[in-house]
Structure formats: structure tokens, C-alpha cells
Amino acid sequence: EDKVVQSPLSLVVHEGDTVTLNCSYEVTNFRSLLWYKQEKKAPTFLFMLTSSGIEKKSGRLSSILDKKELFSILNITATQTGDSAIYLCAVGTGTASKLTFGTGTRLQVTL
């Protein structure tokens, strides 16, 4: 059975801090690893990673994949209160890229 594990489950930080969210996986027929941000409604897409060692960056967010060690990290620098959300890691497998989601990391950024 495909498995995606995220840590920590929840995190409270002060505005301006840097955070690192972790995602490890055990799946068959890996295609991609995706990060999503979920606030009140449905997840919004952040990054899609398919190759090891290549960092993807968008503003204060960045992510990298290690396919040998089967994990990914999502970094957020200079956090803001608007970064408060649940961050979901999902692994796509098979030709249909079916996604298996982790339980998410609930991030709260306080003033």
C-alpha cells in the first residue's frame, strides 16, 4: 500500500521565522511529488517535483526532492501570517498519476 508521511503534524512559529516541512514516502511506480496549500477550501498547487536535487522556488517558498532517500522538504522563509494553512504533500503514481496524500502539516504563524 502506498504511504506518504508528513512531519511535523503541526507547527506554531512567529512571523519572520523560517520553517521546514518534511514529507517521506513509500510507493510503487513513483511519478511525481506535489505540494499543496490548503486554507479554508480546496488545495492550491505549489510545486511539482519529478527529479532529485533540483530545487523549485517561488518567492519565499522552495522545495526539493530526494528520490534516493524518498523524501522532500518544503521551506518557507520570512513567514507571514498569510502562510498559516495546512500544507499537503502528495505523491503521484502510475500512468494516471493517482495521488496519495499525507496527513498534512498544520502551520500557524503568529505575530
Partner 1 sequence: GAVVSQHPSWVICKSGTSVKIECRSLDFQATTMFWYRQFPKQSLMLMATSNEGSKATYEQGVEKDKFLINHASLTLSTLTVTSAHPEDSSFYICSAQPTGGGNQPQHFGDGTRLSIL
Spatial separation of the C-alpha atoms in residues 45 and 91, rounded to whole Å: 13
- Smallest gap from Cβ 9 to partner 1, in A, equals 10
**Residues within window 71-110 making contact with partner 1, judged by CB under 8 A:** 88, 90, 92, 94-104
Spatial separation of the C-alpha atoms in residues 18 and 79, rounded to whole Å: 6
Q: Where do we find the cell 518567492?
A: 59
Closest to partner 1 by CB, 79 or 105? 105
Q: Which of 50, 77, 80, 110 binds partner 1 (CB under 8 A)?
A: 50
Closest to partner 1 by CB, 87 or 109? 87
- Smallest gap from Cβ 23 to partner 1, in A, equals 12
- Smallest gap from Cβ 6 to partner 1, in A, equals 9
Q: 28-59: b or e for each residue (b if 16 or more CB lie within 10 Å)?
A: eebbbbbbbbeeeeebeebbbbeeeeeebeee
Query: Does residue 31 interact with partner 1 by CB under 8 A?
Result: yes
Looking at the DSSP bridge assignments, the partners of residue 99 are 92
Count of chain residues binding partner 1 (CB under 8 A): 25
